[in-house]
């Protein structure tokens, strides 16, 4: 008996643990067991206690069975039975006598007459079950149960190894997918510092620092081109999620028929062209921040699904039946008037309330003109590196005044384009001249209004003051303080002059004279 048991255990263990391909292992093991046991089928399953279900991992049977790709949902009676069972093997003459066997038989479309179910446990943790069955009645006895118990450890070890192996493959797939997405988005992530954080954007950055350490959702509002993406970067960088991913989605650029797939992902075969499973942006942003740019462009159906995710913290991939928990902080942005869209019924009020936890308005460039000089020099430095130029151009006289007088309907993005265009023309000249901005499109912010007796343009007070300060600096060769400094000429304290220069965007030193 001992020799036979040893031989049986040795042969079956080789089949069970000989490969990580669990389908092949069960097939080989079934062929081995048939030499010692009467059976029509062998099945290996694992528990999913959080769902009250059993997932069939592999099965070998010549009988026609229903598809078992999805978990088998257990009845409350079967769940209660699972919770009371420990380690061991159990013989059932009919499936009706055990709720677990009954639920499995109904799910597979078979009604076995005899079954032995062995529960697999490792370190007091229930992993799953091994089921052998026969369509003949009363073919199993306690000797068969004893033989199956000999194989508990090989089956349990094989199941634990397969589950660990699958987890490693899943993590590898996530890593490859994440790396691919990061590579795709690498050149879309601007490397800009936030120019103007000390002046025109000071209030914005203060609000960013207030909300960043929390998990509250943030809604950024501002005209196109004001730098909403940079502020979203700052919210993520200053947050406790900074070591997690920052995933960006332009809602206005997503085709309506692909929005669900992009945001929530899809399973293989979910639709034509879905050749493999794809993780959506919510899953990729798990543990980090999801930046939803142009949130006002989302269609109504997508708004409903987004609201459900914000409420439940769960998503479902297209074509999948299971829910996936996601821990994501939302930073949304729009240039639209969302309250007006809510009033018109174009944006859901409940979604608006969910997103509008901490609104931050980013002022347009024309309302923070003091930042323009610093931005111009920042863009010049960055574009020189891009063009591989070492010769730093000198700004033409009056160039900065022309830039600060312009309306900038395209905001910071338009300013960057203007600087790049001027550098391209500067680079193409045979003889290097000053950097000029003579081709600003459209009308200036304050067009010249000349009357019959007006000697020149009527300027706003700030602009007139700015030009007067620049003239004083020219007269003193950039000197501010001292007996012959600009402050003394203008009759104000040097610190007051410096404060007004910062406010009006007048560059300090000799740079301001160029």
Per-residue confidence band for 445, with pLDDT thresholds at 50, 70 and 90: very low
Per-residue confidence band for 513, with pLDDT thresholds at 50, 70 and 90: low
Alpha-carbon gap, residue 115 to 325, rounded angstroms:
37
* Residue 298 CB burial class (10 angstroms; 0-12, 13-18, ≥19): buried
pLDDT in tens, 413-442: 999 999 998 888 887 765 557 888 877 765
CB atoms under 10 Å from CB of 205, counted, come to 17
Determine the average pLDDT of the residues in 150-165. 85
- The radius of gyration of the chain's CA atoms, rounded to the nearest angstrom, is 35
Per-residue confidence band for 288, with pLDDT thresholds at 50, 70 and 90: very high
Strands 323-325 and 314-316: antiparallel
Residue 125 token pair: 């943790």
Residue 350, pLDDT score: 93
Residue 295, pLDDT score: 94
Alpha-carbon gap, residue 461 to 446, rounded angstroms:
11
3-state secondary structure 154-200: HHHHHHHHHHHHHHHHHHHHHHHHHHHHHHHHHHHCCCCCCCCCCCC
CB atoms under 10 Å from CB of 466, counted, come to 24
Determine the average pLDDT of the residues in 488-512. 76
Instruction: List, as one string, the DSSP characters of 206-226.
Output: HHHHHHTTS---EEEE--TTS
First-residue to last-residue Cα distance in the chain: 102
Alpha-carbon gap, residue 478 to 221, rounded angstroms:
39
Alpha helices, DSSP H, located in 39-90: 76-84
Alpha-carbon gap, residue 507 to 514, rounded angstroms:
10
Residue 327, pLDDT score: 93
| Closest of 404, 401, 384 to residue 392, by C-alpha | 384
Residue 448, pLDDT score: 41
pLDDT in tens, 306-351: 999 999 899 988 888 778 899 999 999 999 999 999 998 999 999 9
Task: Specify whether the CB–CB gap between 245 and 288 falls below 8 A.
Answer: yes
Residue 441, pLDDT score: 67
Task: Specify whether the CB–CB gap between 161 and 22 falls below 8 A.
Answer: no
In the chain, helix, strand, coil percent, each to 5?
Answer: 45, 15, 35
Three-state DSSP at 94 gives coil
39/228: higher pLDDT: 228
pLDDT in tens, 227-286: 899 999 999 999 999 888 999 999 988 888 888 888 988 887 777 777 777 888 999 899
Q: Report how far apart, in Å, the C-alpha atoms of 387 and of each of 192, 310, 373, 428 are.
A: 17, 44, 21, 12
DSSP state of 151: T
Task: Specify whether the CB–CB gap between 213 and 238 falls below 8 A.
Answer: yes
Task: Specify whether the CB–CB gap between 374 and 195 falls below 8 A.
Answer: yes
DSSP state of 321: -
Alpha-carbon gap, residue 168 to 179, rounded angstroms:
16
Per-residue confidence band for 85, with pLDDT thresholds at 50, 70 and 90: low
Q: Report how far apart, in Å, the C-alpha atoms of 466 and of each of 250, 345, 444 are.
A: 39, 46, 16
Q: What average pLDDT is seen over the chain?
A: 81
Percent of the chain with pLDDT over 90: 20
Determine the average pLDDT of the residues in 494-506. 81
Residue 388 token pair: 């591989």
Per-residue confidence band for 444, with pLDDT thresholds at 50, 70 and 90: very low
Residue 132, pLDDT score: 86
Residue 186, pLDDT score: 43
DSSP state of 59: E
Strands 246-250 and 289-293: parallel
């Amino acid at each position: 008996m001992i020799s036979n048991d040893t031989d049986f255990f040795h042969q079956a263990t080789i089949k069970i643990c000989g490969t990580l391909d669990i389908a092949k292992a069960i097939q080989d093991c079934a062929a081995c067991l048939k030499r010692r046991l009467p059976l029509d089928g062998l099945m290996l399953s694992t528990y999913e206690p959080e769902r009250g279900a059993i997932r069939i991992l592999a099965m070998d049977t010549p009988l026609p069975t229903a598809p078992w790709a999805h978990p088998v949902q257990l009845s409350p009676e079967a769940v209660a039975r699972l919770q009371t069972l420990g380690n061991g093997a159990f013989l059932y003459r009919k499936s009706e006598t055990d709720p677990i066997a009954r639920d499995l038989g109904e799910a597979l479309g078979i009604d076995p007459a005899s079954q032995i179910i062995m529960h697999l446990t490792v370190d007091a943790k229930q992993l799953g079950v091994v089921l052998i069955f026969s369509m003949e009645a009363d073919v199993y006895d306690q000797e068969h149960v004893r033989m199956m118990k000999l194989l508990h450890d090989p089956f349990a070890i094989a199941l634990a190894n397969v589950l660990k192996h699958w987890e490693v493959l899943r993590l590898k797939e996530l890593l490859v997918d994440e790396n691919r997405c990061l590579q795709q988005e690498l050149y879309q992530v601007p490397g800009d510092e936030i120019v103007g954080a000390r002046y025109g954007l000071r209030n914005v950055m203060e609000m960013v620092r207030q909300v960043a350490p929390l998990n509250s959702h943030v809604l950024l509002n501002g005209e196109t081109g004001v730098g909403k993406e940079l502020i979203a970067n700052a919210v993520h960088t200053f947050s406790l999620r900074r070591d997690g991913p920052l995933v960006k989605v332009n809602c206005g650029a997503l085709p309506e028929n692909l929005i669900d797939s992009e945001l929530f992902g899809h399973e293989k075969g979910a639709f034509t062209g879905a050749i493999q499973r794809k993780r959506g942006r919510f899953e990729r942003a798990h543990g980090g921040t999801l930046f939803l740019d142009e949130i006002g462009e989302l269609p109504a159906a997508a708004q409903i699904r987004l609201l459900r995710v914000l409420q439940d913290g769960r998503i479902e991939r297209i074509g999948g039946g299971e829910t996936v928990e996601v821990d994501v902080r939302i930073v949304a942005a729009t240039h639209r008037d969302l309250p007006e869209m809510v009033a018109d019924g174009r944006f859901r009020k409940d979604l608006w309330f969910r997103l509008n936890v901490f609104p931050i308005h980013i002022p347009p460039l024309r309302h923070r003109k003091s930042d323009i000089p610093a931005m111009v020099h920042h863009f010049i430095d960055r574009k020189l590196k891009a063009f591989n130029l070492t010769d730093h151009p000198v700004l033409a006289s009056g160039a900065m005044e022309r830039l600060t007088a312009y309306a900038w309907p395209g905001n910071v993005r338009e300013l960057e384009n203007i600087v790049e265009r001027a550098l391209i023309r500067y680079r193409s000249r045979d003889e290097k001249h000053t950097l000029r901005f003579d081709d600003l499109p459209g009308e200036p912010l304050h067009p010249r209004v000349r009357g019959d007796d007006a000697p020149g343009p009527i300027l706003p007070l700030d602009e007139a003051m700015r030009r007067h300060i620049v003239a004083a600096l020219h007269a003193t060769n950039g000197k501010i303080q001292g007996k012959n400094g600009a402050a003394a000429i203008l009759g104000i304290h040097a610190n007051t002059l410096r404060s007004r220069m910062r406010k009006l965007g007048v560059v300090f030193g000799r740079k301001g004279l160029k």
